[in-house]
Structures are given as structure tokens and as C-alpha cells.
Amino acid sequence: MSIPRFWREIRQRYKGIGTECGVCNRVYFPPREVCPDCGRDSLGDMKEREISGKGKVLTFTEVHEPMPDFEILSPYIMAIVEMDEGVRMTGQLVGVEFDEVKNGMEVEAVLRKLGEESPSGIIYYGYKFRPCR
Amino acid sequence: MREVAIIGIGETKIGELWDLSLRDLGIHAGLEAIQDAGVTGDEIEKLYIGNMSAGRLINQEHIAPMIADYAGLEGTPAVRIESGGASGGMALAEGFMAVASGMNDIVVVGGAEKMTDVGDVEAKDILSSTGDREWESVFGATFDSLYALMAKHHMDVYGTTREQLAQVAVKNHYNGARNPNAQFQREIPLKMVLNSPAVSTPLGMFDCAPLSDGGAAVVLCPVEIAESYSGKPVRMMGVGMGSDHMAVHDRQSIDTMKATNLAARRALDMTGLECSNMDFAEVHDNYTISEIMAIEDIGFFNKGDGGPATQRGDTALNSKISVNPSGGLKAKGQPVGAVGINQAVEAVIQLRDKAGDRQVDDAEYGLTHNVGGTGGSAVVHIFGRWSP
Ligand SMILES: [Zn+2]
């Protein structure tokens, strides 16, 4: 991924900044300029909203044939997490064995390295999830 | 709006075709279709090509004029249509509209994909670009894993079993064993699917369709002039398209493809027919779970009954509804951007009674269903037997 393409989304990836619809109060992540439910009524009424980072596992899988950047981690767990704000996110689940993961498990987002351009290139950070202590 | 017929079909064998380039695949299929229809090059007014990712797979963009050029059609308008795995079906929809609108009489719609010039890992990475790159795959989600997440959820919500998923692969290999163009022409036992190595749990290797090379093409014209050509016509009766949130996690329900639901409803409404009128369906079984979701979301079975219906044998050849008589993506193969045209070719073969050992008896109506990405887009076509 190019540096500008990554840099553009640093606020979302590192800090979990999403948006909240001023009409129906639904929360979105990543940010949207239009609420899919309210359409043009929401134009200009989407407010910035920080996602707490806490949520529950909705569903999960153990990946055995990974993406090129993730080979060293294989097998690893991917999950869809339903955040306390109602929005869902896809991320890796760490700090737990696959057979210990359950639907509804409480997890929190943590900042972790996701990959790197090359040994001397930029390193990407972003969120992963781990069980709440 | 004019009624539309298919008067010619062509397709290459599907598989790892090391001796054929993308250009060859498009041309072989196209020339076969043109010959089947009995049209001349001068009569062809437009060419559409469905293709997912020639740019990343073979470093060649702008492939429609290239294929037109080598098919001896330079000068003919030629456009590539991209909608991930639904590129072929979407190209067919464009061809349909060109003829139905009255703008063109003879239109050729092809699909071609060359998946095996890059390695397996790269091919899968390219395929994952049809999901949400920035909010799914960057975080480690493979294309397989996104379908695995749908599968796990479907199992948890509806009680769909591992055996029911596996039965999809067994059935489609049974049908593929009867298709001379299929990549895998052999039957497989249930145990082999259940014991195949994990790709992304609960999906194993035999739950996944291969990534293949292949080309397919059809020739369209208005119904009124269909009988003046040599190929036996089939009616294209309905077309429906739909879209949904790009990322799986944003979907209203992650075990349901709304794009499929909308596309099927729109196509059926155009014809006045219902699912119960269909004799067969070619559905987008890129994974076993995909077929189970498809037969529910199109409306052949109630939500949650896709697994049990498969296990009961309701989707086997010449049962309640023959699903994927061609062998589907699982056994016939998955030349990604060509899939929608391969499905249309099968529909025509069935409605011409030319399917041999995999013939659906007395087939009157058939439906094809083609999905882009993880369900970000879908297209459904409905075909009917020719009656003058
Ligand atoms: Zn809203």
C-alpha cells in the first residue's frame, strides 16, 4: 500500500474515529458522509465519533491459508466484532487459543503491527482484538 | 423493450490451461459462439467482455479491443465490464439491454479470465481485492476467511452442519463428472470433503472452488430474427441486478446476501415466473456455503433450509430443482470473470436438450446467479425454452 493511501486513514486505523448520524444516531466505522438508512436527510449531519474499542465476538474463523503479509502468523484467528456502539469491525483476534474463542466473548481493540512495505520500508499499524481482562 | 434470444454459444475447457493466453481464451470461445449462431463478422454490432482483473493477473488492461482485434472484429465497439466474480453476468446484462433497447441487433458477450499465470497466493490476493481491501484484507482477512465467517454464522444461527456443506461439493462433482468441459470430471465421496485440509475453518480445501483459466461467449439477437440464424435459440426472459455493503461486517445479516435477494426478485418480476417454475439453476458456488446461501436467498428454499434441502437431495440432478447441473464453480471450474457466461452457456445447453448424461428432463425454464466479491454485487438471469 502506498504511503499516502495509508497515511490518509491513520486517524481511523490508530484512533478508531468513526461517524454518528445526527438523524438516527447510528454509528459507523470507518466514517461515512451519508447515512445508508437516512440518505440525504443525513447530509451535513454526520458527526465525528470515537469508537470505544470494546465489543463482542459475532463470529470467527481460523485462517490456515493466509494473506502474504500474514504467513508468519498462520494459523491465526479472524473475527467480526460487534462494538458497543453497534457498528461491526473485522480484525484479527490475538492473545487467545482458537478453541477458547466463543461467540459473545468480550474483546477490546489494541494497536498492533499489521505488516511492512519492505524490511526498510514503512510499517503499518492498526487494530487487532484481544479478550478483555 | 424487445424480447431477446441467445442464438449461439461457445466455451473453452476450464482448468489450468498453460498453452492458452487470455487472448486465446476469449477468441476461441467467441469464434465458437459466432460459428454456432451462424452470424457473420459484419453483422456483429457490439462486443462486451466480462473480466475481473486482467490488469493484475497478466498486466494487460483494455482487453476488449484486443480480443475484438484478434477475432477479426476490429472496428466493432468493444467494452470490458468488471464486477468482480459477477463480471460475466453483468456483461450479459449489458448485452441484453443493448438488444432489448433496440440499439443493436447482433451482440456478442464473452467472458475470459487467466488465473494461473500468477502463483496461487497471488491469485487469491487478487481475488480478495473484490472484497473491501482497506477494511477487511488489510487486517488479515483472506477471501476464503470472509466466506468462512459467513459459514460459521450460518451454522450457528440455523444449525447448518459440516456434512450439509460437504454434500454441496459431492453433488456438484457428481454433475461435473458428466460435463466434458469441466475442470474436475470425477465424483468424490463425502469423507474426502470432510477430511480435506482446513483452509479457513469451517471450510476445507474441498469446500472451495478452484481458480481456473477459461473463456465463454454467447451471441444475442432480438427474438423476431432469431430463427433466421442456424443456432437453436433460447429465450432470455429476465435480468435482475443488485448490490450490498462492500464489507461483510456491514451487511444487515452476514448469513444473507441481499444483493442476491434483490437480483432474483427483479429478474423474476420481469418474467412473471416464480422460483417454483424453474427446472434448474446455475448458482455461484465459489464455496459450498455460497450455494446454500444462494438457494435460500434466491428463494428456492426458506432461510435456514438450504442445508437440510441439500442433504435431502432436493438440489440433485432431476430432483425438486436441479442446482448446478454443469458441476458449478466447484467442479466445472472458476474462471472468475467468465463464470456468468459459463452459466449462460449451460442454461442454453440444457434448454436445447444437449446436456447428455447431466440433462435436466423436460427443462422449460432455468435461472443463473452470479456473485461479485463476497456479495457486494449479484446478477440473476432467467432463460426459457424456445417456442416460436
Ligand atoms: Zn441515519
Q: Residues 1 to 20 of A: which have CB under 8 A from any B CB?
A: 1, 9
- Which stretches of chain A score pLDDT less than 50? none
Identify the weakest region by mean pLDDT among A9-23, B133-147, B234-248, B300-314. A9-23
Residue A6: predicted pLDDT: 67
Which residues of chain B neighbour A69 with C-beta distances below 8 Å? 140
User: What is the CB neighbour count within 10 angstroms for residue A4?
Assistant: 7
- For residue A42, the CA-to-ligand 1 centroid distance in Å is 6
Residue B310: predicted pLDDT: 98
The whole-angstrom separation of Cα B67 and Cα B78 is 8
- For residue B128, the CA-to-ligand 1 centroid distance in Å is 30
* Residues counted in chain B: 388
> Is B302 in CB contact (< 8 Å) with chain A?
no
Which residues of chain B neighbour A58 with C-beta distances below 8 Å? 153, 249, 254
Question: What CATH code would you report for B4-119+211-234?
Answer: 3.40.47.10
- For residue B44, the CA-to-ligand 1 centroid distance in Å is 48
At residue B296, what is the residue type? E
Q: Residue ranges per domain, chain B?
A: 4-119+211-234, 125-209+237-385
> Is B253 in CB contact (< 8 Å) with chain A?
no
Average pLDDT across chain B, whole number: 97
Residue A114: predicted pLDDT: 82
User: What is the CB neighbour count within 10 angstroms for residue A23?
Assistant: 15
Q: Calculate the CA dihedral of residues B116, B121, B125, B130 and round it to 10 degrees.
A: 50
ipTM of this complex prediction, to 2 decimal places: 0.96
DSSP string, A65-120: S--GGGGGG-SEEEEEEEETTS-EEEEEE-SS-GGG--TT-EEEEEEEEEEESSTT
- The 10s digit of each residue's pLDDT in B335-386 is 999 999 999 999 999 999 999 999 999 999 999 999 999 999 999 999 999 9
Contact B78, B64 (CB under 8 A): yes
Residues β-bridged to residue B152 = none
The yes-or-no answer to whether B4-119+211-234 and B125-209+237-385 have a common fold is: yes
Residue B247: predicted pLDDT: 98
* Residues counted in chain A: 133
CB-neighbour burial class of residue A132 (10 A; exposed 0-12, middle 13-18, buried 19+):
exposed
Helices (H), B115-249: 120-128, 143-158, 162-176, 190-194
Residues β-bridged to residue B9 = B218
First to last CA, chain A: 34
The proportion of chain B whose per-residue pLDDT surpasses 90, expressed as a percent, equals: 99
Element (H, E) at A62: strand A54-63
Residue A10: predicted pLDDT: 75
Q: How many CB pairs under 8 A join A and B?
A: 96
- The 10s digit of each residue's pLDDT in B39-85 is 999 999 999 999 999 999 999 999 999 999 999 999 999 999 999 99
The whole-angstrom separation of Cα B119 and Cα B100 is 41
Owner of C-alpha cell 475470459? B112
The whole-angstrom separation of Cα A9 and Cα B8 is 49
3-state DSSP assignment of residue B365: strand
The C-alpha cell that represents B358 in the structure block: 447431466
Chain A residue with minimum CA distance to B128: A67
- Considering only the beta carbons, identify the residue of B144, B153, B156 that sits closest to A65: B144
Which homologous superfamily is B125-209+237-385 in? Thiolase/Chalcone synthase (3.40.47.10)
Ordered structural domains, chain A, with CATH: 52-131 (2.40.50)
- The 10s digit of each residue's pLDDT in B172-225 is 999 999 999 999 999 999 999 999 999 999 999 999 999 999 999 999 999 999
Looking at residue B92, the DSSP 8-state letter turns out to be H
> Is B135 in CB contact (< 8 Å) with chain A?
yes
User: What is the CB neighbour count within 10 angstroms for residue B68?
Assistant: 25
| Phi, then psi, of B31 in degrees rounded to 5 | -65, -35
Q: Which residues contact B92 (CB under 8 A, 6 or more apart)?
A: B48, B50, B109, B218, B239, B340, B341, B344, B379, B381
